[in-house]
Amino acid sequence: MTGEPGLDTPSAPPAAHSVPDLLLTLRQARFTGSVLVSGTPGGTIRLEQGLVTAVETPGAPAVETLLLKSGRIGEAQWAAAEAAAGSASPGGRPADLGAVLVAQGAIGAAELETVCAAAVFDGAFALALGRPGSWQAAEADLPARIALRPGVEPGRLSEETARRVSLLTRLGSPPRELAAVRIRPSAQAGTAVARTSARHRDILVAATGRRTARDLAFALGRGVFAVMLDLVRMDAGHLLHREPATAAPGVPSVAPRTPPSGPPPISDGPLPRRIRGEQPLGAAAARTGTPAQGALSAPAEPTAAHEKSEKNAR
Amino acid sequence: MSSQTTPTALEAELKSLRERVMGIAESVVATADGLLVAADTATVHAESAAALSAAMLGLGQRTANEVGLGGLRDVVTRCNGGYTVVLAIGDRALLMILGDEGLDIAALHRESPATIHRLAELLGMTPADLTTA
Amino acid sequence: MRALERSLSAVLDSPGVIGAVVADAVSGLGHASVGEHRLLGTAAELAELVGLVDDGLRAAGAEGEVESLVVSTSRHHQVVQLIARQGDPLLLATVLDRTRTNLALAVRQTADQARELLA
């Protein structure tokens, strides 16, 4: 977006303190294009008339993954739709893949909308858990191939993201910490499995001790937030065992990192039970990298309280 | 071979890469002729992955020479459920990475040079071995 | 207007229905709402309710999956019907005027509507 100087730096103008602020500004301008967010994870937020039609990020499954991994649509059906969408408009932009899937009878329009909307909100949630880098708006980008139309109001998106973060925090698992935890079934899970739901059993089967909530979401074709909620509920039923954080190799990453702004919000919620004093350097660095302002603004965690408990622990 | 054995420095390095880059599921270090050196795997057969990735890398290097597009950077296979990426470690070894379809390619490009460098060190290579690759 | 909103508007035409909500039954994401949907609470509250009931039933030893929940007040019936599908289930919640429908009809009607909603 060329008209507004400084949108590409997080610190510059009052118009863009954060990605949510930027999205609100772009909504007023009825902007069509993309917002590219760099960070861990980064992502692309697609906008049409300022409404969010898709969020693509390594942090959460895209519509394609939700449809294919859940078994809702077969690989052959998907490939056929892609071929039809590509050939529908020779020379021009490929046709809307979602419309083709509906036209081919692979999925109903209403159901596809629910999947597209779920992917938008889950992608925004995943971006909010990441360490934000910079962001910039780009007008020229191609529209998303499969998207929610009309899109979501940016204000509603950040409200829902805030609800998700605060719900998990209220349940005792601040999502930024939960995101780093790798899970395997607990010793008790074997006997309790008969009483768990099919959904929770799928998680138990997929939880190899190597996977985070995000990895489970990709493996199962579900949303990251939904998997996290299930993990918290299963944890309450003592079905899960958290793998201890691994000792990183002696040499920490030499790659550039975004320095944390403000005091590190160290939290001591119950889920990631790391033993204090045994934390590897790398893990500590990863935890303190939590931004003061998430990419899609989750409310800041009560830093002061956490600092206090940190002092008490010493 | 599984990640359950006593972790060597190489395995720890692979595990660390998996934790730094979203979407990496498994990885393997092999010699250039396809013999397994170290693995951070759960489901794939590490020996087979090592052999196949050596073949992929060799084919990629020959292709790069043939088409004249400069030196090979990496060999990427895109599947419906994810990616495999094969990277050379000097001219004597290689790293194969399996990722899901959300693999953070940008992060992989950012993190992999340092990982390749450390793996090379652990394999007893000198910086000269890396630059001549 | 989106396709889902159109489907949900049709639900309002049924006898006695005065409001309806479609939400993700796990994440609590609200997909659409019509009429006097505020009587039903938010989408997040509805999903939380389903989760609580499910947990409670399992803890008590019940097997199978929750299909529907019914709450009756002196003025309304509220029916929450789960919509199973590949992937996480959705829920359709309707609020019905007690003077214009009976409980059996309300439950039956909501189950039928849930089946047709995603078509």
Residue-by-residue pLDDT tens, chain B, 133 positions: 444 334 589 999 999 999 999 999 999 999 999 999 999 999 999 999 999 999 999 999 999 999 999 889 999 999 988 999 999 999 999 999 999 999 999 899 999 999 999 999 999 888 777 765 4
Residue C13 token pair: 């035409």
What is the pLDDT at residue A85? 87
CA distance readout (Å), A73 to A199, B80, C86, C104: 19, 12, 9, 35
DSSP conformation class of A248: P
The helix-helix angle for A109-129 and A154-170 (nearest 10°) equals 60
Longest distance between any two alpha carbons in chain A, whole Å: 67
Could you read off the pLDDT of A132-173 as tens digits, one per residue? 788 888 887 677 889 999 999 999 999 999 999 999 999 999
Please indicate whether, in this complex, the C-beta atoms of C58 and A195 are within 8 angstroms of each other: yes
CA distance readout (Å), C37 to A160, A161, A190, C111: 18, 22, 42, 18
What is the pLDDT at residue A283? 38
pLDDT at C103 over 70: yes
Q: Are A136 and A46 in contact (CB under 8 A)?
A: no
Model ipTM value: 0.95
Mean of pLDDT values over A273-302: 40
Q: Report how far residue B30's alpha carbon sits from residue B38's, in angstroms, rounded to the nearest whole number.
A: 7
| Chain A residues within an 8 Å CB radius of B41 | none
If you search the block for the tokens 């159109």, which residue do you land on? C6
Could you read off the pLDDT of A69-86 as tens digits, one per residue? 999 999 999 999 999 988
CA distance readout (Å), C26 to A198, A216, C49: 13, 16, 10
Residue C96 burial (CB count, 10 A): 28
What is the pLDDT at residue A90? 60
What is the pLDDT at residue A92? 63
pLDDT at A19 over 80: yes
CATH 3.40.50.1220 fits C3-117, yes or no: no
| Chain A residues within an 8 Å CB radius of C85 | 72, 111
Top-confidence residue, B68 or A190: B68
If residue C92 lies in a helix (H) or strand (E), which one and from where to where? strand C90-97
If you search the block for the tokens 């099919």, which residue do you land on? A198
Q: Are C117 and C8 in contact (CB under 8 A)?
A: yes
Which residue of B16, B22, B102 is in closest CB contact with A248? B16
Please indicate whether, in this complex, the C-beta atoms of C88 and A223 are within 8 angstroms of each other: yes
Top-confidence residue, C22 or A310: C22
Q: Are B25 and B100 in contact (CB under 8 A)?
A: yes
Least confident of A61-65, A263-267, C24-28, C69-73: A263-267
Residue A168 token pair: 């998990």
Domain residue ranges of chain B, discontinuous segments joined by +: 9-128
Residue A38 token pair: 């760099």
pLDDT at A104 over 80: yes
If you search the block for the tokens 């047709």, which residue do you land on? C116
What is the pLDDT at residue A237? 84
Nearest to A137 by CA among A16, A40, A28: A16
Give the CA angle between residues A74, A78, A205 to the nearest 5°. 40
What is the pLDDT at residue A17? 81
- Classify domain B9-128 by CATH number: 3.30.450.30
Q: Are A301 and A167 in contact (CB under 8 A)?
A: no
CA distance readout (Å), A100 to A77, A104, B61: 11, 6, 39
Least confident of A3-12, A30-39, A121-130: A3-12
What is the pLDDT at residue B5? 37
CB of A126 within 8 Å of any CB in chain B?
A: no
The helix-helix angle for A198-206 and A213-220 (nearest 10°) equals 110
Nearest to B114 by CA among A221, C45, A256, A231: A256
| Chain C residues within an 8 Å CB radius of A223 | 26-27, 88
CB of A265 within 8 Å of any CB in chain B?
A: no
Mean of pLDDT values over A266-281: 42
CB of C27 within 8 Å of any CB in chain A?
A: yes
What is the pLDDT at residue A2? 37
R_g of chain B, CA atoms, integer Å:
14
Query: Neighbouring chains of A at 3+ CB pairs within 8 Å?
Result: B, C
Asked if the bond preceding A280 is cis, omega within 30° of 0, the reply is no
pLDDT level of residue A88 (50, 70, 90 thresholds)? low
Residue A314 burial (CB count, 10 A): 5
Mean of pLDDT values over A256-280: 43
pLDDT level of residue A236 (50, 70, 90 thresholds)? confident
Which residue of A60, A218, A282 is in closest CB contact with B16? A282
| CA of residue A96 relative to chain centroid, distance | 24
Helix (H, G, I), strand (E, B) or coil at C77: strand
Residue A22 token pair: 């930027």
Q: Are C109 and C86 in contact (CB under 8 A)?
A: no
Mean of pLDDT values over A273-296: 39
Residue B8 token pair: 């060597």
Domain residue ranges of chain C, discontinuous segments joined by +: 3-117
pLDDT at A304 over 50: no
CB of A64 within 8 Å of any CB in chain B?
A: yes
Q: Report how far residue A81's alpha carbon sits from residue A40's, in angstroms, rounded to the nearest whole number.
A: 32
CB of C13 within 8 Å of any CB in chain A?
A: no
End-to-end CA distance of chain A: 49
What is the pLDDT at residue A303? 40
Residue C1 token pair: 């207007």
Least confident of A116-120, A132-136, A254-258: A254-258
Mean of pLDDT values over A193-221: 92
Which residue of A70, A198, A237 is in closest CB contact with C87? A70
pLDDT at C60 over 90: no
